[in-house]
A and B are shown apart, each in its own frame.
Chain A
Amino acid sequence: MKEKVTILCCCGAGICTSNYLKEEIEDRIKQEGLKNVKIVLCRVSDVDEAISGADLLVTTVEMKAAYPVPMIRALGIMLDDKAAKKALDQIVNEVKKIMQE
């Protein structure tokens, strides 16, 4: 069992789309009643450094490298409601999975 899950949200500049993802994920995590989920923002150039503290990587950009944690491309959150739901479902499922590990 993992007590705490850290999600790293990353985008090109680390201020815009990652911040958008963070709010949407936070809302959904709250709805699901999940506790102890922390969301950290970073820009894509800082992922190498920030990844060490993360359990899950959520990104809006194409990642050029592979990382030792699960990765979810979540650009859908910003597009239509259907794509947003799909991406958020995927994130929540992954978080639950990590918590059970």
Chain B
Amino acid sequence: MGNKITVNPITRLEGHGKIDIFLNENGDVEDAYLQVTELRGFERFCIGRPAEEMPRIVPNICGVCPTPHNMASTKALDSIYGVTPTPAAKLVRTLQYNANFIEDHYIHFFFLAAPDFVVGPEANPVERNILGVINKVGLDIGKRVIDIRRRTRDIIKLIASKPSHPEGGLPGGVPRGIKQEERKTIIETADLCVEFAQFALQLFKDVVLKNKDYLDLILSDVYNLKTYYMALVDENKKVNFYEGKLRVIDPNGKEVSFFHPNDYTEYIGEWVEPWTYVRLTYLRKIGWKGLIEGDDTSLYRVGPLARFNVSEGMATPLAQKEYEQMVSTLGKPAHHTLAYHWARLIEALQAAEDLQRISIDPLLTSTDIRNMNFQFTGKGIGCVEACRGTLIHHYETDNEGLITKVNMIVATQQNAAPIGLSVKKAAQRFIKGGEVREGLLNMAEMAFRAYDPCLGCATHTIHGKMPLVIDVHDHTGNVIKTVSRGA
């Protein structure tokens, strides 16, 4: 290998959604780093506020995943106030949470992932978007996605008032229950969601898995990354989005940790590298081993593929069958980054089936929706699986319930180092001897999108530009090529 490259500290100043690729003296890829503009000062912002305000503040962190933040925060409050939600309240929360999973996964799949496959990675970029997908597979599918989204958001609205800024989030319960007359619409939505989930999976199989080129792409080494994986599982070690214990498996599938989220600080370390503001996570018991994959790594991934790998199956029957097919095609653990998309669709099916189960549960319409028997503890850790991965909210308060400490471990933070590695592998294919071949941006983007990363500042649309920019640096750190799309 060439000489060690001094990383140019100027890269810290540059904006979000940026990747820096560093070449060695031979002009080949040495490293690649994902730069994420991390939002700063959240802890300071929260200190001194009443803990019960947190569920209403945290959805403002991100315009893309407000519901998971609201839910993790609410669970942290349960812990601070030492209270267990009533069974009916838990059903209502899970109803809301499943609706969010369905909505979010389909928006990602049809708007961001499907264009890679349905339109194709070599297609004209102007066509490789949702409009291109509609032109290929028909307007009806687009309308069905929009309809599912509207129906699932209506469920969230029913419970939390505003899907984009969930309200409520009460320790020990939920702000309102479900009325008997509302059940019918929920049942209809659940049935439609199960039907659509099966359709979406069939589309994925027909368009992607039966296409040799795409299947080869999924299976290719370029998109293979050997890491540890972490996710919540239930008491049967099945996938669960709302609760459970965190399970960690090694790159060969062996369980190495199984712990309650309250103990996360013993298992998850946060590391700072000079080239980024993001605190990269690693498995503390192994120690920081740097940005490497393989058996010697201490990096782990979270999200749909991690949940597939970590669990011993899906919690619902139809999703379980799909899981089994994925296992037989890819093996387990599956290190194929593009398989995040397949896992995502299976999860949408589990969320839909669970929605069905809840919609017909007699307890759903119970009025016993709040447990007010508080035993104040002053410390709370709430953990859920967000669509894009494990999410942990950790709060501590003084005796009056005012916040004294906040820490959050978010999904994209945990995936940040692996994303850099995935992009590096794509880059190694397209950059040789300092020559940057066409196709670099497409392939790097595909790796990037598979993780469904959540970048800060992601609520603006008027710029109309690609947020992903790639700077290629020579061995002295100088930028020799910038690859981007748009302006």
- Asked if A and B are interacting partners, one says no
Listed in ascending order, the chain A residues whose CB lies under 8 Å from chain B are none
